[in-house]
Structure 1
Amino acid sequence: MAMNGLLAPWSHGRRDDAERGDTRRLHQVVRRADLASEAPETAGLPLLMGFASDAGVRRNWGRPGAASGPLEIRRMLANFAAHDLDAVLDAGDIACEGDALELAQDAYADAVARALSQGARPVLLGGGHEIAWGSFMGLRRYLDGIGDDGKVLVLNVDAHLDLRTSRPPSSGTPFDQIACYCEDHGHAWRYACLGVAKPGNTAALFARAAEIDAAVVHDEQMQERHLDALRGQVAGLLDAADHVYLTIDIDALPAAVAPGVSAPAALGVPLTVVESIIAWVCDSGKLRLADLAELNPSLDADGRTARVAARLAWLLLQSFAAGAADAGTLVSDVISKVKR
């Protein structure tokens, strides 16, 4: 863990104390979380934690740099208005040293499980999409610990299926790893990948998706004109699940919106559609944790991608703060204003 005190992005920021009303920004409400504490104060609170890793991207022959993603997202978040966020916890980062990916994922999964067991509502920041294996295993360890074998929906907004069957694990294998693990242990689950770019996925990957009965929605069906049909598809997936793990690969967004990723999208999924998906998932009351993956600050132009990632993180934090009963209301309001 890399958090002895408050992380640098939260140590300063704009203050509007001379103005009337609630002028708080995120850097004013974030506080350090120690998940190893004997007396945790995390129950019901949104919590940030990062997985600073490039190892999976390197193994997948991608462009490294995503290890700096968690820090850059925090930097952008620091000056966002707090609104309904009275407190946000930050548990720091789990960092992958060199190529020790499996060890880092295991430590990260343990930290995620501890956060969930303490009642926190995690918004997790990558790093490459190898974060997904650790996020899922953290949820799985938590559910196993409380004896809950309910069906888990793994909802991935991504241009890529990430179902590679080769090993060692990489940023391209996490959902195949999850499939194999659930099959071996008899866990009920469903994989859904929304925003898949056909040119970026081989026939073998689509065949693997069919083998595990994955729900696949192509990028051309993810445009705003298809929003009503998409909402019906997502609703069906949510209805059949007991728990939802939402993972958003920033490379699902159009390259013009999100250039700072390892593999920019030629078409991509509009930001308003991604935000709508967040709203629908939050409205279900079944979201247990969410992560954002593949922001690569070294490839970002003018911080555009980091701002998008931070906005999505902010929406998730606001939704978690709103509570299970009306978690998606604030996000839905934001979406409706954007679409006017």
Structure 2
Amino acid sequence: MEKRNKNLKNMINPLFYRSTPADVWTGRNDGTDLAVQRWHQRIIRIDLQAENVSLPPAGDQGIALIGFSCDEGVRRNGGRTGAKDGPAHFRKASCNLPVHLTEDAVFLDLGDIICTDQNMEEAQLSLAQTVAFALSNGYQPFVIGGGHEVAYGHYTGIKNHVKPAESIGIINFDAHFDLREPNENGTNSGTGFLQIARDCQSDGKPFRYLPVGIQQNSNTKYLFDTASNLKVNYIPAEGFMVSRAEEIRIQLEEFITGSTHIYLTICMDVFSSSFAPGVSAAAFSGLIPDAFFFSCLQTVLASGKVISMDIAECNPVYDQDQRTAKLAAALAFRMINP
């Protein structure tokens, strides 16, 4: 393990990494007993650039929080920047969440991958290396963005870890397909899943992608045609309702059954702006984070196939009353404690 840790330090460009400061994880303290602990008391900060760094054994559950402090893809895509501060925004909202992990579970904060000199590709590469490293040490990565360009780096890290014969299914709660062609600025926050599709084609593997919450008024006809050409089934926002609960559950379960592993990603702009105003592309309508939504999320989590997770597009610049950050924290709490 120590050799792997040393190699990771040598692989990640130090200009694209920042450890989490000690004063970030602070909050209410009701005592040290397991029953009254909060996240700020339980989380262990790891500096991946420290000499002779090593990760503790993952225990019966290992969670590795990784920040992706980058919104260069959003800038290239013409969106509202500010999501690069999403990881800090999320940590602040999560400090006082109660611990419902077992005593043997280990919860790490591996710091942030940052984007320097608008070099999004190097940031994505560093994220991929960190994700693969966490997985190789028995931890389930939980990545907080940042723009949804997080998806390409995150997926690449998972792909680099799993066995060649294993398949990765992607479930993306999102208002957008993110199947755009690169524009004059190159790849961006809207191209990630098309990049993954093309990588799958090059690798001779199926592209397994299920977007949930797609809005017709947020995607051009070209994007719907692209999804059709790639044989991508999707669940539209207008069809995401309790009256279709059984149909949606079956669609989710059938998709999961066909995959060895599930990469779960949630873009905060999938929700109505009344619940998540702090995003790069707000929409007046969208999914509601109610009991039905969480039951669908639970269907994915209960499969036992989720290998890695992320939350994207948490933008503090436009967040009102910390609503988006608090919702992201609530999502993370459920995803870590299914």
When normalised by structure 1's length, the TM-score is 0.88
CA contact under 8 A between 1:42 and 1:89: conserved in structure 2? no
Q: Report what 2:158 is aligned to.
A: 139
- 1:40 is the counterpart of 2:59: no
Query: Residues of 2 paired with 1:4 and 1:127: CA distance?
Result: 16
Query: Would you say the 8 A contact 2:19–2:46 is kept in 1?
Result: no
Report the Cα offset of residue 21 of structure 1. Answer: 7.7
Task: Compare 261-270 and 35-44 and name the one that shifted more.
Answer: 35-44
Q: 1:49 aligns with which of 66, 69, 75?
A: 66
Alignment partner of 1:246: what SS? strand
1:10-54 CA-to-partner distances (Å, cap 9, x unmatched) read 1x2001139x98211110000023557564225341111010001
Q: Does the alignment pair 1:313 with 2:329?
A: no
- The offset of 1:274, in angstroms, is 3.6
Deviation string for 1:47-102 (max 9, x for gaps)? 11010001000001000000010111111110011122543110000001131000
- 1:20-99 equivalence runs, <5 A: 22-34=35-47, 39-43=54-58, 44-84=61-101, 86=103, 87-99=106-118
Q: How is 1:236-275 mapped onto 2 (pairs within 5 angstroms)? A: 236-272=254-290, 273-275=292-294
What fraction of aligned residue pairs are identical, expressed as a percent?
Answer: 36
CA drift at 1:276:
2.2
Question: Does the aligned pair in 1 maintain the 2:67–2:113 contact within 8 Å?
Answer: yes
Counterpart residue number, 1:220? 238
* CA shift for structure 1 position 216: 1.2
The aligned amino acid for 1:22 is A
Tell me the distance in 1 between the aligned counterparts of 2:207 and 2:57: 28
1:5 deviates by 4.9
Q: Which residue of 2 aligns with 1:336?
A: none
SS at 2:165 equivalent: coil
Tell whether 2:127 aligns with 1:113: no
1:222 is displaced (CA, Å) by 1.1
Once residues 188 and 138 of structure 1 are traced to their aligned partners in structure 2, the CA distance between those partners, rounded to angstroms, is 18
201-210 vs 84-93, which moves further: 84-93
Q: SS of 1:49's equivalent?
A: strand
Corresponding pairs, count: 313
SS in 1 for 2:189: coil
Answer yes or no: is the 8 Å Cα contact 2:181–2:194 preserved in 1.
yes
Q: State the match for 2:177 in structure 1.
A: 161
The one-letter code of the counterpart of 2:187 is P
User: How far off its partner does 1:205 sit?
Assistant: 0.3
Q: Give the structure 2 partner of residue 330 of structure 1.
A: none
Partner SS for 2:64: strand
Maintained 8 Å contact 1:242/1:286: yes
**Partner residue in 1 for 2:27:** 13
In structure 2, do the counterparts of structure 1 residues 98 and 42 end up closer, same or farther at CA, with 3 Å as the change threshold?
farther
How far residue 188 of structure 1 moved from its aligned partner, in angstroms, is 3.0
Query: Could you tell me which of 216, 233, 248 is aligned with 2:251?
Result: 233
CA shift for structure 1 position 175:
0.2
Once the two structures are overlaid, the 10-residue window that deviates more, 272-281 or 189-198, is 272-281
Aligned-residue RMSD, C-alpha: 1.8
**Contact 1:123–1:316 (CA<8 Å) still a contact in 2?**
no
Matches within 5 A, 1:194-209: 194-209=212-227
Helix, strand or coil: the match of 2:124?
helix
